[in-house]
Amino acid sequence: MKDFVISESTLLAYDGKEENVEIPKEVNKIANGAFKDNDYIKSVKIGDQVSQIMDGAFQNCTNLESVIIDAKIESLPWYCFSSCTSLKSVALPSTLKEIGTEAFAKCNSLVEFEIPEGVEKLEFGAFRECESLERIKIPKSLKTMETGAFSCCFKLLKVDFANRDLWKIRRAEIFKRAFDGAVRDVIALESFDKESPLTKLIIKNIVITVDNLIEIGRIDLLVKLLEYKSKMSEQTFDELLDVAQKHKSTEAIALLLEYKNNLK
């Protein structure tokens, strides 16, 4: 307890070096930046006695890997876990309705994330620059997704929308971000051996992105991607053609054949 600075049920700061931290029972509120820049903690558990978490409470805790929040909170505040670059596992409460601005921005170890049913709003940049994020599940309860909620999530390959109406509105924006990442991947191809596992992974990412672009009718983005055709092999084009044929997109098929023939 000596490592916790508490005043009138508010946790003002944590000065300890423990790896696994559980918020004391007498704490009802976690103050702004209470754990900010702590390089020691690896896991934190926030019990149901906590009713409020303030902005940036765990910002830049670079070794934090696991978070369990049982607190009956309705809002996850701005920058709450921003720049927690080792964060891999997050359990959020069923009472949560809003994920605040950049709450998980730059959490570069997050690979997948399930937003719990009950959340109604994702604020600006909520998951901005989560560079390893590949899969996210969005609940039916979600009503509002602000611009840039997933900006610069270049590896985002699968977005499961329970609310199909919101999906129709936002999918083009989300996969535009994935497209930006695909361009980066294509450019990177020439730096690696054609048979290396990394090259195969990069090609897989490109194929999945093209699949999504054709599905949403963004042939214009496919054209831009093919501007980097000189960096792609015939085998890659064959895989992309298989995707276009699956969607029965005559426009995409014709485009890919044209670019493939120009390689010769």
Give the integer Cα–Cα distance in Å for 260 and 264. 8
Task: Give which of 246, 233, 249 is closest to 200, Cα–Cα.
Answer: 233
Buried b (16+ CB within 10 A) or exposed e, 201-219: ebbebbbbbbbbbbeeebe
Task: Give which of 116, 134, 216 is closest to 173, Cα–Cα.
Answer: 216
Q: What parts of the chain have a pLDDT lower than 50?
A: 178-179
Decide if 153 contacts 176 (C-beta within 8 A). no
pLDDT tens-digit series, residues 182-195: 555 555 555 556 66
Task: Give which of 55, 132, 53, 129 is closest to 95, Cα–Cα.
Answer: 53
**Residue keyed to tokens 């964060």:** 87
The pLDDT score that the predictor gives to residue 29 is: 97
Fold of 1-162: 3.80.10
The pLDDT score that the predictor gives to residue 224 is: 76
The pLDDT score that the predictor gives to residue 153 is: 79
Residues of CATH 3.80.10.10 domain(s) within the chain?
1-162
Give the integer Cα–Cα distance in Å for 42 and 67. 9
The pLDDT score that the predictor gives to residue 116 is: 94
Which strand (E) or helix (H) includes residue 80?
Answer: none
pLDDT tens-digit series, residues 226-264: 777 667 778 888 888 999 999 999 999 998 998 888 766
Angle subtended by helix axes 197-215 and 164-188, to nearest 10? 140
